[in-house]
Copies of this chain bind each other. A is one copy, B any other.
Amino acid sequence: MDREYPTPAVSVDIVLLTLEEGGLKVALHRREDDPYRGQLALPGGYVHVDVDVSAEATAFRVLKQKTGLAPRYLEQLCTFAGPDRDPRGWSVTISHVALIPLGELKEVGGGVFQFYDVDQLPELAFDHAKQISEAVQRVRNKASYSTLPCWLLPELFTLTQLQRTYEQIFGETVSRGTFRSRLGIKVADAKPGESADEADILISTDQFQGGNQRPARLFRVNHLCLFKRAYW
C-alpha cells in the first residue's frame, strides 16, 4: 500500500425518503453551485476529516446544517466510485438512505426540499437517480420482511395508518384482513403495554385517535427487527 497517488474526493449523499399521499417521495433540492448548478440533487457534502468521526456522522452533520433535521432512521446504502460520476474528477460517495415522517420533515426541513415521486423522477445531477433507485429497492425489500416502514410514521400510529404506509411503499392496496394476517396481528385491541402481533413488535398504548365515531387505538414500535419472514 502506498500513498503516492492522488486520492479521490470523498462525499456522503443522503436519499431522504418520506411518504406523501400517493406514495414514496424523495427529498431533492436545487444545487446552488457548479457543477450541475440549478439542477435537482440529493442533499450531500464532503467528509470533513477534522470534525466527522464516521461517514454516518458526515450524513448527520450535512442534514443538520442544511435543514436542521436529524432522521431517526439512517443506514448506509452503498458506495459509488469512479472517474466519471463528478466532472471535477475521480470521486467516491458513500450513499445513505434515511426515512422520516412527512410531518417532521415539513416542520424542520421546511422550504429546503421539494418532494418527488420515486417512480417518476425528473433529471438529476450526478448519479443521484441511480442512488435513489438503489435506495427504493433496499427499502421495499426490507419492508417486505421487517418493520422498517414504521420509521415513516409518527411515534404513535393506528393500525390503519400502518396499513396505508405499507400500501404506499408497495403501491398496492390490500384488505384489512389480508394486511393483519400478513403482519401477524392477533389482537387488534390488545391491552395497553401488550403486543398486538405474533412477533411482539407493535405495542398497544392507552391513547386513541379520532373521537366522533370509533376512536382507533394508537400503537408504538417495540423495536426494529429484521425477520426471516415475508410480510408482503
Contacts and interface: CB of A to CB of B under 8 A. Distances in A.
A102 interface: no
A101 interface: no
Interface in A175-232: 228, 230
Contact of A144 (B33, B48, B79, B228): B228
Interface residues of A, number: 35
A48 to B, nearest CB: 5
Interface string A69-101: 000000010110111000011101010000000
Given A47-B8, A90-B47, A228-B144, A55 B81 contact: yes
Task: Tell me the interface secondary structure of chain A in the complex.
Answer: loop
B33 A55 contact: no
A50 interface: yes
Interface in A1-24: 1-3, 5-11
Contacts of A149: none
Contacts of A10: 7-8, 10, 81, 92
A94 B55 CA distance: 12
B49 A6 contact: yes
A116 interface: no
Given A78-B76, A79-B79, A81-B55, A89 B1 contact: no
Given A5-B47, A55-B82, 5 more contacts: A7-B46, A10-B10, A49-B83, A92-B92, A144-B228
